[in-house]
Amino acid sequence: MSAASETAGPKGSPNFHVAHHFDSADTQFDAGRMGVWLFLVTEILFFGGLFCAFFIFRSWYFDSFVEAHHHLDWKLGALNTVFLITSSLTMALAVRSAQVSNQKLTSQMLLATILLACAFLVVKYFEYTHKIHDGLLPAGYFSGQGFTSAHPGVFFSIYFVMTGIHGLHVVIGIGLLLWILFRNMRGEFSSRYYVGVEGVGLYWHLVDLVWIYLFPLLYLVG
């Protein structure tokens, strides 16, 4: 174990040490990465329930879904898609910079990711305000005018639940990114140890990926 920590110990990462129950830094790294991937699996199943509900109600209330989805602004949705995809790029670059021990670039890329995430939330805020103003609310409070189909409220229920829970994941993601940014500024990450950056990166890509499905389903095809 002592031999392992000498070879695998990160240069310039004074706070890093191999936890006592791992035989080497590599095992610890693998374990951490495996844990993150398993967590992502749970996220997919979590959202899976919502996608399942979306497809069921879309097939039952097809007319309502088509009619209601015209009330979503696809331009704002597309703008947010650009924000998130770009943020995934900056996130990937942050992981890459950590891998090559470029601490400064890692911080810059993490900051860029956080700003793009905030921009996403700002756009989302304007979208939500507009919907609430028009009474385009979940079924129980729906008061939208001029609808001809029977169940537009169910569409907005699903819209608010799915984008709301996704938005919550963005907020949590910003928190995680700030934590990683803080740790990076303390010099904890380097080519020898970057599992924290990579883990949050994987989470962030998943948040992005969920939106990649939400945008066409809700805004484009309805």
- List interacting residues with another protein (CB under 8 A): 19-23, 27, 30-31, 34-35, 38-39, 41-43, 45-50, 52-53, 56-57, 61, 138-141, 150-151, 153-154, 157-158, 160-161, 165
Residue 61: partners with Cβ closer than 8 Å, 6 or more residues away: 149, 150, 151, 154, 155
Shortest Å distance, C-beta 195 to another protein: 12
Q: How far is C-alpha 152 from the geometric centre of its chain's CA atoms?
A: 27
Q: Smaller CB distance to another protein: residue 37 or 125?
A: 37
Task: Write the CA distances from 74 to 51, 53, 219, integer angstroms.
Answer: 19, 22, 5
Token pair in block for residue 183? 């740790």
Nearer to another protein, 110 or 218 (CB): 218
What's the closest the beta carbon of residue 112 comes to another protein, in angstroms? 30
3-state secondary structure 8-35: HCCCCCCCCCCCCCCCCHHHHHHHHHHH
The packing angle between helices 152-185 and 62-69, to 10°, is 60
Closer residue to another protein (CB): 48 or 135: 48
State in angstroms the smallest separation of the CB of 221 from another protein.
Answer: 20
Residue number, 115 or 161, with CB nearest to another protein: 161
Q: How far apart are CA 179 and CA 77, in angstroms?
A: 28
- Pick between residue 114 and residue 210 the one whose CB is nearest to another protein: 210
- Distance of alpha carbon 49 from alpha carbon 40, whole angstroms: 15
What's the closest the beta carbon of residue 96 comes to another protein, in angstroms? 25
| Contacts of 169 by beta carbon, 8 Å cutoff, 6+ apart | 43, 207, 210
Output the smallest distance, CB 67 to another protein, in A. 14
Q: Is 193 exposed, middle or buried (0-12, 13-18, 19+ CB in 10 A)?
A: buried
Nearer to another protein, 50 or 119 (CB): 50
**CB of residue 25 to another protein, shortest distance in Å:** 13
